[in-house]
């Protein structure tokens, strides 16, 4: 079956469609369905775009960055060694968010605590103490962790 | 009345290096040119130390050690990705954006009067900072030339506030007063040569240029500078160029990391440059009608024997096929190569570029089927390389070891464009 494509930017006045010369092509998701000479496919009208993992994990692509986790201090939040974090810099960090933060020249992943004048980075593993940020200490909350993923060696 | 904004990233390359590196937050950082030669970008801390742009890195070793300056090789993969992200954010603020350079874009602000140009500028600055962690300055004016000048004022804190300078809110008197204090060389399009000639005519400040006689500027300099004068007066002569015009010539050249003596190394370099240029050529849907190859020894070392040669060949038929171009390139190289010299640089240029649609077929060369097959092979090659990374599929002529490649001894990871180089974050 020849590939079906539709031209963007048509002139639709009075129902007359005139394709603009050199306009970009927009592919329609029709590739997989064979035209049957006998009965038409009952699914033809229900065609949808296939699921895309980017769409699921990444809300704002332009402000999204990936970081690789090293260590086990966040396992209580289901963040494990070797996971890849999806960090969205456009999300405003709030109390309770899991964040990537720069403290004392290090990149850390922790839960942000910001209540009653106390600012701290909390681990999600009893063997790691909370890191209280002193007044003179500089901390940059770099971005908010909005997801994670990992490939399994199967 | 049209209104333009120029958005410019502060210390762009240095800021990109700092973005992912927590150990550099208040540390002076420089970025070096190809082969780690000269300083091409400086962080605010380095500027404060008075280290000039373009100074050779080896000359400031002492100072660098004393002040703890950290140097990086140019990490173009990182800068390009962040630059594209900045443009993407800017596109949310105007339907018309002209990407002027890797760290500067013009935006059309016309029609945003109700929001207020200044507050629009402040919002741009805030969003780029929040979303990308990069600082920008915004200059706003009735012409592109004024927007660029306003950006200079924002950056140098001569006018405006917090990195935003809006000439449209300033009255004539204060603008005149401001222009009296700015050197004419800061005007867009006025280079050092023109500044010097202007100075002979007693035109030294922006104000003097603005108030000069446009007609005589035209007769003594050019229409271009006359247009600059009119733009300084607020008469918009330059529109946004949203689509970069297809290039008439594509060049690819580099200095080598170390001197190259063997013809086979030069061949690899030339083949690699041609492949890269041919990819760009296909990207703009064009064909090249001629090819130039040149090689030269190190002209900065007068002790060593010198040789340089450049030859241009017209091709029998315009093409964008890497294989054809490489075959011709190597043929030329073999003709100009002389053994016994230490080569420092090689380059190629694709010329006589025509759109693919206007292709003239040769009377003598085989066409039709061959050209269609070549096109689909090149398409396949480009899409594989796009998907799996540059150089995944390449011509054997480009070689594998590439001893001649650029020296980039201080290269940071490609934090945003390679899975095995993304930044690590500690959970400890």
Provide DSSP, chain A: -PPPEEESS-B-GGG--BPPTTPPEEE-S-TTPPPPSSSPPTTGGG--PPP-HHHHH-S-GGGEEEEEEESSTTGGGT--TT-EEEEETTSPP-TT-EEEEEETTEEEEEEEEEETTEEEEE-SSTTS--EE--TTS-EEEEEEEEEEE-----
Answer whether residue B192 shows pLDDT above 50.
yes
Q: What CATH superfamily classification does B250-398 receive?
A: DNA polymerase, Y-family, little finger domain (3.30.1490.100)
Shared-domain flag, residues A65 and A137: yes
State the Cα angle at A62 between A97 and B72, rounded to 5°.
95
Residue A40 resides in a domain = yes
Q: What is the mean pLDDT of residues A107-131?
A: 96
Considering the domain boundaries, does residue A154 fall inside one? no
Say whether both A111 and A142 belong to one domain.
yes
A109 touches chain B (CB under 8 A): yes
Neighbouring-strand partners of residue B107: B5, B97
Place of tokens 């922790």: A110
Band of the pLDDT at B188, cuts 50, 70, 90?
very high
Indicate if A17 and A41 belong to the same structural domain. Answer: yes
A89 touching chain B per CB within 8 A:
yes
Task: List, by residue number, the catalytic residues of A.
Answer: 73, 110
Q: Which residue from A minimizes the CA distance to B19?
A: A142
C-alpha pair distances (Å), B154 with each of B5, B162, B212:
12, 8, 25
Sequence ranges of the domains in chain B = 1-170, 190-244, 250-398
Q: Is the pLDDT of residue B358 over 50?
A: yes
Q: Do the chains contact at B428 and A70, CB–CB below 8 Å?
A: yes
Same domain, yes or no: A37 and A68: no
Nearest CB partner across the interface for A63, out of B132, B422, B424: B132
Please tell me the distance from the alpha carbon of residue B428 to that of residue B416, in angstroms, as a whole number: 23
Q: What is the pLDDT of residues B412-423, one digit of tens each?
A: 999 999 999 999
Residues B359-387, mean pLDDT to the nearest whole number = 70
Q: Which position has the higher pLDDT, B101 or A24? A: B101
The secondary element (H helix, E strand) that includes residue B52 is none
Report how many domains make up chain A.
2
CB B138 within 8 A of CB B7: yes
CATH classification for the domain delimited by B1-170, as one of 3.40.190.80, 3.40.50.300, 3.30.70.270, 1.20.840.10? 3.30.70.270
Which pTM does this prediction carry? 0.74
Range of the domain at A111: 59-149
Tokens of B426: 């500690």
Q: Are residues A36 and A72 in the same domain?
A: no
Closest Cα in chain B to A105: B23
Q: Are residues A34 and A90 in the same domain?
A: no
**Lowest model confidence (mean pLDDT) among B43-47, B214-218, B299-303, B340-344:** B299-303
Q: What is the pLDDT of residue A35?
A: 59
CATH code, domain with A94: 2.10.109.10
Interchain contact, A140 vs B131, CB within 8 Å: no
| A44 and A6 both lie in a single domain | yes
Residue B243 reports pLDDT greater than 70: no
Q: How far is B148 from chain A (nearest CA, A)?
A: 26
pLDDT of residue A46: 79
Q: Does A71 share its domain with A124?
A: yes
Check whether residue A90 and residue A43 sit in a common domain: no
pLDDT of residue A15 exceeding 50: no
Closest chain B residue to the Cα of A110, Cα to Cα: B427
pLDDT digits (tens, 9 = 90+) for A82-99: 999 999 999 999 999 999
Same domain, A25 and A93: no
Residue B242 has a pLDDT of 62
pLDDT tens digits, B84-143: 999 999 999 999 999 888 899 999 999 888 889 999 999 999 999 999 999 999 999 999
- Average pLDDT value for residue range B342-355: 87
Least confident stretch, B29-38, B71-80, B229-238: B29-38
Contact A70 B23 (CB under 8 A): no
pLDDT value of residue B153: 97
ipTM summary value: 0.74
Asked if the model's pLDDT at residue B176 lies above 90, the reply is yes
pLDDT at A12: 37
Assign A17 a pLDDT band (cuts: 50, 70, 90): very low
**A43 vs A70: which has the higher pLDDT:** A70
Q: Is A144 found in the same domain as A76? A: yes
């Amino acid at each position: 079956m020849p590939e079906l494509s539709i031209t963007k930017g048509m002139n639709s006045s009075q129902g007359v469609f005139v394709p603009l010369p050199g306009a970009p092509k927009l592919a329609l998701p029709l590739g997989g369905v064979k035209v049957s000479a006998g009965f038409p496919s009952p699914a033809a009208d229900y065609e949808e775009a296939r699921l895309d993992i980017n769409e699921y994990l990444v809300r704002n692509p332009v402000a999204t960055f990936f970081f690789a986790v090293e260590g086990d201090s966040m396992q209580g939040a289901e963040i494990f060694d070797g996971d890849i974090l999806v960090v969205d810099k456009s999300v405003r960090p709030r109390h309770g968010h899991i964040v990537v933060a720069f403290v004392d020249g290090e990149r850390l992943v922790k839960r942000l605590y910001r209540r009653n004048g106390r600012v701290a980075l909390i681990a999600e593993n009893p063997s790691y103490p909370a890191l209280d940020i002193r007044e003179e200490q500089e901390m940059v909350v770099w971005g908010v962790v909005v997801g994670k993923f990992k490939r399994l060696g199967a | 009345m049209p209104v333009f904004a120029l958005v410019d990233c502060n210390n762009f390359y240095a800021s990109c290096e700092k973005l992912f590196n927590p150990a550099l937050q208040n540390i002076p950082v420089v970025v070096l040119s190809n082969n780690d030669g000269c300083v091409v970008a400086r962080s605010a801390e380095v500027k404060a130390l008075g280290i000039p742009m373009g100074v050779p890195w080896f000359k400031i070793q002492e100072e660098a050690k004393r002040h703890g300056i950290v140097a990086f090789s140019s990490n173009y993969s990182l800068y390009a990705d962040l630059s594209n992200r900045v443009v993407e954010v800017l596109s949310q603020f105007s339907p018309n954006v002209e990407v002027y350079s890797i760290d500067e874009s013009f935006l059309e602000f016309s029609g945003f009067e109700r929001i207020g140009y200044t507050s629009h500028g402040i919002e741009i600055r805030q969003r780029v900072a929040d979303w990308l962690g990069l600082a920008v300055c915004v200059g706003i004016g009735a012409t592109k030339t004024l927007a660029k000048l306003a950006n200079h004022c924002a950056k140098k804190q001569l006018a405006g506030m917090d990195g935003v300078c809006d000439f449209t809110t300033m009255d004539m008197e204060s603008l005149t007063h401001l222009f009296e204090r700015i050197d004419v060389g800061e005007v867009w399009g006025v280079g050092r040569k023109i500044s010097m000639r202007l100075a002979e005519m007693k035109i030294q400040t922006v104000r003097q240029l603005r108030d000069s006689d446009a007609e005589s500027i035209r007769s003594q300099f050019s229409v271009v500078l006359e247009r600059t004068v009119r733009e300084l007066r607020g008469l918009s002569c330059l529109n946004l160029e949203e689509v970069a015009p297809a290039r008439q010539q594509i060049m690819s050249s580099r200095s080598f990391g170390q001197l190259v003596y063997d013809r086979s190394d030069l061949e690899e370099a030339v083949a690699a440059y041609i492949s890269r240029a041919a990819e760009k050529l296909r990207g703009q849907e064009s064909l090249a009608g001629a090819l130039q190859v040149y090689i030269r020894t190190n002209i900065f070392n007068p002790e060593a024997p010198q040789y340089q040669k450049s030859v241009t060949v017209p091709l029998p038929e315009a093409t964008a096929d890497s294989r054809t171009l490489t075959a011709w390139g190597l043929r030329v190289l073999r003709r100009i190569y002389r053994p016994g010299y230490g080569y420092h640089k090689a380059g190629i240029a694709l010329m006589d570029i025509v759109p693919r649609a206007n292709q003239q077929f040769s009377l003598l060369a085989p066409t039709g089927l061959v050209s269609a097959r070549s096109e689909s092979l090149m398409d396949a090659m480009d899409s594989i390389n796009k998907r799996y990374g540059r150089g995944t599929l390449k011509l054997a002529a480009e070689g594998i070891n590439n001893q001649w490649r650029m020296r980039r001894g201080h290269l940071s990871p490609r934090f945003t464009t390679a899975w095995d180089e993304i930044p690590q974050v500690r959970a400890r």
